[in-house]
Amino acid sequence: MKAFMPPEKFEGLNAQPQQAGQKVEEYRGFKLVNDSGNPNEWYVILRGRLLKGSPAAIKKHLDAVIEKLKQK
């Protein structure tokens, strides 16, 4: 038995509206997210691991990981 769903049913499924205090910043292909609006509560998922902290600390770690991967 096949089920058919018209394309209209899928519109908006992937669109996730931002919450009121949520901030998202793109950095070197990664999305840094802050859901609370507090300055040191940013996070990103890198290779299945959750990194949390300030944007500067996360960016510094991402730079180090990317450089290490380039050397391989």
User: In sequence order, what DSSP letters do the residues of 1-70 get, joined into one string?
Assistant: ------GGGGTTSS--PPPTT-EEEEETTEEEEESS--TT-EEEEETTEEEEE-HHHHHHHHHHHHHHHH
Determine the pLDDT at residue 62: 97
Determine the pLDDT at residue 3: 76
Determine the pLDDT at residue 63: 97
Taking only the tens of pLDDT, the chain with its 72 residues reads 677 777 777 776 555 555 677 999 999 999 999 999 898 999 999 999 999 999 999 999 999 999 999 997
Determine the pLDDT at residue 28: 95
